Amino acid sequence: MSAVLSLGEVSGRPESRNWLNTIIKGDCVAALEALPDKSVDVIFADPPYNLQLGGELTRPDQSKVDACDDHWDQFASFEVYDAFTRAWLLACRRVLKPNGTIWVIGSYHNIFRVGAIMQDLNFWILNDIVWRKTNPMPNFKGRRFQNAHETMIWASRDANAKAYTFNYEAMKAANEDVQMRSDWLFPICNGGERLKNDDGDKVHPTQKPEALLARVLMSSTRPGDIVLDPFFGTGTTGAVAKRLGRNFVGIEREQDYIDAASARIDAVEPLGATELTVMTGKKAEPRVAFVSLIESGLMKPGTILSDARRRVSAIVRADGTLVSGVEAGSIHKVGARVQGLDACNGWTYWHFDDGQSLKPIDVLRSLIREDMAKAG
């Protein structure tokens, strides 16, 4: 079974990390306070939604809807819920690395309060993501629109944390080569994935689908990252993290949920390194200085470069700068000046003649990068 730690067993010493890939049993805020500062890369939080349900709800066939009326979802007032929310978000903030990000999922019952508090605590919202359900529960009384989605807030630690992980190219490739949008379509957690106890009842009333977590982790973490889930429940976050080669830490109060999560995670087979290689765009690739083309002999000083239509030309100087008429400077700056623009990507703007046709100098950069990759 996956290790389960009681609160007293958690080592707060940064070098220990005995809490890695374990479930910490205890209150969310107390457990968070046992973890060291700036120790996790990403947090996924699925807090109580504070549904304020009235009486019972029946379907048109008079069957009863099995509502989420668990004690842990009950709060006396908005004030109490807000205080709870502020406490766990603040504790999360301390544990999060400076360039880490946090995801919080909710519905209209709670997500507005959560989002406002996140902003108040200086988290910087990067996106709100809509999980569109393919198969939501209908509105049985015909008094509202069918509540067919939930909302996730994705935020960095603060507005200045620019170096958070976002696997833009991988998301784009996974989405027919267009940018991944802020609305995602997934079925609710059903069928074989849904954990049931011996009586055939669901173990947890609000188990999230693994596909949702997989997209969250694939987009905002790298293999080996540490993912914290302060409301672990039956461990969807842990199961997906393990499968995707990420480390997890879960916090959970209820022993039933811990037992189910632990067994579930044990059964997960991690994917191999090849499957996990994240598609990266140019951003993640090493920077190449234009001068290194000259240094490596791929480009000779004095070479004449031009734009794709040979309307503008420039001469390569030995120091890696370019001259075009009166303009001199980097490939980017000169490219911008000759076009009268503020900026320009010189790698794609400037071309060289290889004897047959004009090719962008970017192809030479690719050769350099291949060499860099071989060198490890």
Check if the beta carbon of residue 231 is closer than 8 Å to that of residue 252: yes
Binding test (CB under 7 A) with DNA, winner from 34, 40, 188, 305: 188
Closest among 153, 149, 78 to 115, alpha carbons compared: 153
Q: Which does 207 bind (CB under 5 to 8 A by kind): DNA, a second copy, none?
A: DNA
Q: Is the dihedral of CA 234, 237, 240, 243 positive or negative?
A: negative
Question: Is residue 61 at the binding interface for DNA, with CB under 7 A as the rule?
Answer: yes
Q: Which residue in 7, 68, 278, 315 binds DNA (CB under 7 A)?
A: 68
Compute φ and ψ for 184, nearest 5 degrees: -115, 140
CB nearer a second copy, residue 2 or residue 101: 101
Does 357 help bind DNA (rule: CB under 7 A)? Answer: no
Question: Binding DNA by CB under 7 A: which of 135, 197, 255, 339?
Answer: 135
Q: Which helix (H) or strand (E) holds 124?
A: strand 124-133
Which of DNA, a second copy, none interacts with 129 (beta carbon under 5 to 8 A by kind)? a second copy
Q: What are phi and psi of 312, to 5 degrees?
A: -125, 140
Q: Using the rule CB under 7 A, is 52 a contact of DNA? A: yes
272: amino acid identity, one letter = G
Nearest C-alpha neighbor of 215 from the set 324, 127, 112: 127
Q: Which stretch binds DNA (CB under 7 A): 30-38, 214-222, 271-279, 324-332?
A: 324-332
Closer residue to DNA (CB): 13 or 311: 311
Answer for which of 1, 14, 59, 83 binds DNA (CB under 7 A) is 59
153 binds, among a second copy, DNA, none (CB under 5 to 8 A by kind): a second copy
Residues in CB range of 95: below 8 A, 6 or more apart: 32, 35, 36, 37, 38, 39, 40, 43, 228
* Residue 256 near which of DNA, a second copy, none (CB within 5-8 Å, type-dependent): none
Cα distance between residue 350 and residue 313, in whole Å:
9
Could you give the CA distance from residue 202 to residue 256 in angstroms, rounded to a whole number?
A: 12
Tokens of 244: 């995707």
Per-residue x/- track, 262-301, DNA (CB under 7 A): -------------------xxx-x-xxxx-----------
Rule CB under 7 A: say whether 347 interacts with DNA.
Answer: yes
Q: According to the binding rule CB under 7 A, does residue 158 interact with DNA?
A: no
Integer-rounded Cα radius of gyration of the chain = 26
The binder of 341, among DNA, a second copy, none, by C-beta within 5 to 8 A per type, is a second copy
> Euclidean distance between the first and final Cα of the chain, in Å?
37
- Going by their DSSP bridges, the two strands 40-45 and 226-229 should be labelled as parallel
For 80, what's the count of Cα atoms within 13 Å in the CB-facing half-sphere? 9
For residue 288, the Cα-to-chain-centroid distance in whole angstroms is 27
Which residue number, 41 or 73, has a Cβ lying nearer to DNA? 73
Q: Which is nearer to a second copy, 104 or 249 (CB)?
A: 104
- Give me 364's structure tokens: 């030479």
Q: Taking the complex as a whole, how short is the minimal distance between the CB of residue 339 and a second copy, in angstroms?
A: 8
d(CA 69, CA 49): 11
Tokens representing 221 are 């973490």
Site for DNA in 204-243 (CB under 7 A): 205-207
**Minimal distance, residue 267 CB to DNA, in Å:** 17
Which residue stretch of 247-255, 264-272, 294-302, 331-339 sits at the interface with DNA (rule: CB under 7 A)?
331-339
DSSP letter (8 states) at residue 141: T
Please state the closest distance from residue 202 (CB atom) to a second copy, in A.
Answer: 23
Query: Which residues would be at the binding site for a second copy (CB under 8 A)?
Result: 58, 60, 62, 78, 107-109, 111-116, 118-120, 125-130, 132, 136, 138-139, 142-149, 151, 153-154, 162, 166, 168-169, 171, 179-183, 219, 281, 283, 336, 339, 341-345
**Cβ at position 17, least distance to a second copy in Å:** 29
